[in-house]
Amino acid sequence: MAATLSRRSTLKLGAAAAGAAALGFPNIVRAARDRVVVRQDRDIQILDPAFRIGAAEGNVISACCQRLASFKTGSLHYAPDAAETIKQVSDTLIEFTLKPGQMFSDGYGEMTAEDIKFSFERFGIVQKDGKKSSYASDWGALKEVEITGKYSGKIHLKNAAPAIWRTAICDTSGNILSKKAGEALGEKITSQLVGSGPYRIAKWEPNRQLVLAANPDYKGPKPVFREVIVRPIQESKTAEIALRAREIDFTRFEDPVAGDTIAKEAGLKVVKMPGMRYLWIGLNVEKAPLDNLKVRQAIRLGVDVDEALTAAFGGKVERANAMLQSSLLGYWKDAPVRKRDVAGAKKLLAEAGLAGGFKTRLTVLNQAAYKTMAQVVQSNLAEIGVTVEIEALDGGSYWSVGKGDVGKNLDMSLQLFSAKMDPSFTSQWFVSEQVGVWNWQRWTNPEYDKLHVLAASTNDEAERGKAMIRMQQLMDDSAAFIWLTYDSAVFGAAAWVKPAILPNGTDWQFGLFGEA
Amino acid sequence: MRHAALRYFTSRLITTALVILGAMILLFALTLLVRGDPASVLLGPQATPEVIADFQRRMGLDRPVYERLGLFLWNMVQGDLGRDVVSGRPVLDRVIEVLPYTLTLTFVSIGFAVLLGIPLGCYAATHPGSRGDQFLAIASVSVVAIPNFVIAIYLLLIFSIWLNWLPVLGTGPSGDWGDAALRLILPSLSLALSWIGYIARLMRSSLLEVLSEPYIRTSRAYGLSETKIVYKYALRNASIPTLAILGLGVGRLLGGAIFAEIIFARPGIGKLIYDAIGTRNYPVVQGSVLAVVVLFVLVNLAVDMAYGWIDPRIRAQSARAAAPA
């Protein structure tokens, strides 16, 4: 009865194994890869496009809903999505026709033009509880949506608004909800998302996970993964360990240096993109002695931007010299690249009557990278006689220090703003009416304001680009901004995951995630 | 005697209620002092001054401070912790949702600390000066001295990455108790390690003290076995300081579990408070902290009650103190 292994049986065994490998094993592998686990840095709170908190919600909403037009994979270019046709008829009119037969989940029926009107116009409406969408400006140019048929309608704009395509129609604010669901669910619309996109919410366990399952009723191209599991992991280091332990398949790293460890690990990969978020030091032009142009110029000359970036990000981020990043319309490629000049800075201070130096304060978010940069700035400015006190605040306090009259007491602040795929979104925060809101520099310039309106209301790209460059020149002249970096978007992923990330780095297209 | 014990219990309950009231007033005061405006958080940057004013009126934020305090206390007494200003959900629901995770983590950590700390302390006390005792002394002080988050990161690296024995994060899929238990090991151990060291040192010193008492010497003279002397007679009395510390320990862990909840990406009340502070979500901060305070004082009340059960001398002393002159 002793088992013998002849040459023939070895060959048979080998062939069987090869056959199994060829037929069965790949299916097993594929079965294990029918889902992707994605980390987001905080828990989902509200699943309502108009009242979302940020990208964490936006990514889930956009996976479950359709838009009239959507961005192509990882691109600023877009194509019709729920719309069969959509076109800009004039500066203030966009016409659309919906594809028939697009069904909302949970039995809320077919998508019609009524749903488009409901989804877009609600951004401008103050809710019963007094709440107004934080994203109302995305649809700020919207006058009304006129329904012309079951599937057709016209989007009337108050004025030409070129940004509306990339910041509203194709973006998270353009997600289409079911009107019937909105009326039936009332307040529950914030937690029960009814869409018609590639995924639907299969399970939502707050603080633990949100499971997206492929929507069988979705009429567009089927998503590659049957499930997308979104897990909230706040700590970047934990996310890195979770990726190495293969408990998650995709994450963004807040610290670009973290990618170095992942890059060395087999079965994992690092995806790097130029960032679009912009980081700068803002100087309050109303607060003495920063109200003196020469003082601001001296501070700008005294700061070694490259050194600050090396200290905080290991030199892994691109230096910024103006507001707009290179992929955006209006990028100012000839923006001056200032080198640190201690003697020049001292001379400017002396001209301002402050040869003996002065004391000031730099307010930063209480995060390691920002504090590191602040320390470099503190050390740099000490050499020109300026004593900097660093004030590191948690998010809740930090984001209120520039608001209202309290903002008048702010000296310098290190700020990080997110960007969208249109330059007008970025430039809007520095207009005069934003003083005490998001314009913490309290810098005002009538020409800038006029150019912002012009750029936001013309469809002529050349004219927009020119206006944007001029606006950045005005900012540069003010010396109220010391541009630091556009940050960088570094992601870690399992080697088999092909993520779909929009150029701003924060918007992820779960429906377009694929296998590498 | 029973009447006196009831009076003692009642007086402890009144003290507990006063502590909770003090905590509520302090909580209210803190939200007034901290920078940041809940109206801006809820309504967003697009809100007009009129909308903000209307919100403040409806939330009672435009009323005098004493009125707001009164309303706050009245609502809290009625169990109305308010509404989450971000999601609009009742705060009580949010607290109840995460509290079991924190309680589980806390009590499993304390369980680890007791199960390992007491035997180690007993061993050190019964073998004073031995190599084992010396090793335990160094190890105990080391784990007490190392910050918990450092321990947590190393536990993750060792057990999840290098050895690949234990999962990294979260609480696992709902309903899978085995997986949930596995995911509890590292966070609870990272919380417990310093307490293991602390309890071991405390137990060692109190047991050594008790072992030098005359009644122990008498027991030895009667020829009772050392095991019986240590574990039946000495350990019970030596446990009282440890028990007192455990009461504080549960409170510390309830609030201090936050780092484990963040590092191990677990839901919990510490993380809820942390996130709420960041967004100036005051109702959530107040409701969650109040829940922690109530639990803390209740655990300490239970510990106080347990003293009497463990040591009849304390029971008798309390009864005497509570009895009318």
Instruction: Please provide the DSSP assignment of A235-272 as one string.
Output: -HHHHHHHHHTTS-SEEEESSGGGHHHHHTSTTEEEEE
Chain A residues with beta carbon closer than 8 angstroms to that of B169: 231, 233, 238, 242, 247
- DSSP H helices, A33-137, are 55-64, 113-121
Compute the distance between CA of residue A299 and CA of residue A283 in angstroms, rounded to an integer: 9
Compute the distance between CA of residue B273 and CA of residue B288 in angstroms, rounded to an integer: 6
pLDDT at res. A21: 43
CA atoms within 13 A on the CB side of A399: 15
Q: Output the six-digit token pair for A223.
A: 């998503």
Q: What CATH class does B98-278 carry?
A: mainly alpha
The residues of chain A that CATH labels 3.40.190.10 are 1-65+197-274+490-516
At A128, the amino acid letter reads K
- How far, CA to CA in Å, does A436 sit from each of A167, A416, A453, B53? 24, 16, 20, 17
Q: In Å, how far is A124's CA from the nearest CA of chain B?
A: 10
pLDDT in tens, B45-90: 555 666 677 667 766 777 888 888 888 888 888 888 888 877 778 8
Nearest residue on chain B to A126, alpha-carbon basis? B51
Chain A residues with beta carbon closer than 8 angstroms to that of B54: 130
At A100, the amino acid letter reads P
The residues of chain A that CATH labels 3.90.76.10 are 66-178
Q: For A127, which DSSP code?
A: P
Q: From the CA atom positions of chain A, what is the Rg in Å?
A: 26
Q: In Å, how far is A447's CA from the nearest CA of chain B?
A: 24
Percent above pLDDT 90 for chain B: 16
Q: Bin A106: left if φ > 0, else alpha if -120 < ψ < 50, else beta.
A: left
Q: What CATH class does A1-65+197-274+490-516 carry?
A: alpha beta
Q: Output the six-digit token pair for A45.
A: 């709170």
Chain B residues with beta carbon closer than 8 angstroms to that of A132: 43-44, 46-48, 51
Q: Are the Cβ atoms of B97 and A206 closer than 8 angstroms?
A: yes
Per-residue pLDDT of chain A (516 residues; tens, 9 = 90+): 344 445 555 455 455 444 444 444 433 444 458 999 999 988 888 899 998 888 899 999 999 999 999 999 988 899 999 999 999 999 999 999 999 999 999 899 999 999 999 999 999 887 766 677 878 888 989 999 999 999 999 999 999 898 899 999 999 999 999 999 999 988 788 888 999 999 999 999 888 899 999 999 999 999 999 999 999 998 888 899 899 989 999 999 887 777 888 888 889 999 988 888 899 999 999 999 999 999 999 999 999 999 999 999 887 888 999 999 988 899 999 999 999 999 999 999 999 999 999 999 999 998 888 999 999 999 999 999 999 999 998 877 888 888 888 899 999 999 988 888 889 989 999 999 999 888 999 999 999 999 999 998 888 889 999 999 999 999 999 999 999 999 888 999 999 999 999 988 889 999 999 998
DSSP-derived 3-state class of residue A153: strand
* Torsion sign over Cα A51, A400, B48, A143: negative
Q: Are the Cβ atoms of A187 and B88 closer than 8 angstroms?
A: yes
The angle subtended at Cα A463 by Cα A460 and Cα A469, nearest 5°, is: 140
Is A403's Cβ below 8 Å from some Cβ in B?
yes
Using CB atoms and an 8 Å cut-off, which of residues 44-73 of chain B contact chain A? 44-48, 51, 54-55, 58
Compute the distance between CA of residue A38 and CA of residue A239 in angstroms, rounded to an integer: 10
Cβ-Cβ pairs closer than 8 A, A with B, add up to 118
Average pLDDT, chain B: 82
pTM for the structure as a whole:
0.78
Enter the CATH code of domain A66-178: 3.90.76.10
What residues form DSSP beta bridges with A481? Answer: A282
Chain A residues with beta carbon closer than 8 angstroms to that of B87: 45-46, 190-191
pLDDT at res. A152: 97
The shortest CB-CB distance from B169 to any of A45, A130, A242 is to: A242
Between B320 and B147, the more confident residue is: B147
Do the beta carbons of residue B273 and residue B30 sit within 8 Å?
Answer: no
Q: Are the Cβ atoms of A242 and B86 closer than 8 angstroms?
A: no
What residues form DSSP beta bridges with A203? Answer: A211
Using CB atoms and an 8 Å cut-off, which of residues 374-393 of chain A contact chain B? 393
- DSSP H helices, A410-460, are 423-427, 446-456
* Residue extents of the structural domains in chain B: 1-86+308-325, 98-278
pLDDT in tens, B195-254: 999 999 999 999 999 988 898 888 888 888 888 888 888 888 888 888 878 877 887 888
Compute the distance between CA of residue B252 and CA of residue B258 in angstroms, rounded to an integer: 10
Mutate: best of B43, B46, B95, B101, partner A, most A CBs <10 A? B46
Q: Which CATH superfamily is domain A277-486 in?
A: Dipeptide-binding Protein; Domain 3 (3.10.105.10)
Winning range, highest mean pLDDT, from A296-305, B133-142, B228-237, B295-304: A296-305
DSSP-derived 3-state class of residue B281: coil
Complex-level ipTM = 0.71
pLDDT at res. B324: 55
CA quadruple A418, A424, A430, A431: dihedral, nearest 10: -150
Q: Are the Cβ atoms of A134 and B44 closer than 8 angstroms?
A: yes
Q: Are the Cβ atoms of B267 and A206 closer than 8 angstroms?
A: yes
Chain A residues with beta carbon closer than 8 angstroms to that of B43: 130-132, 134
Residue A208 has a CB neighbour count (10 Å cut-off) of 21
Residue in the block written with tokens 């955006």: A328
Q: Are the Cβ atoms of B97 and A396 closer than 8 angstroms?
A: no
DSSP-derived 3-state class of residue A417: strand
The residues of chain A that CATH labels 3.10.105.10 are 277-486
Q: From the CA atom positions of chain B, what is the Rg in Å?
A: 24
Using CB atoms and an 8 Å cut-off, which of residues 274-303 of chain B contact chain A? 275, 277-280
Closest CA to A82 of A218, A215, A271: A218
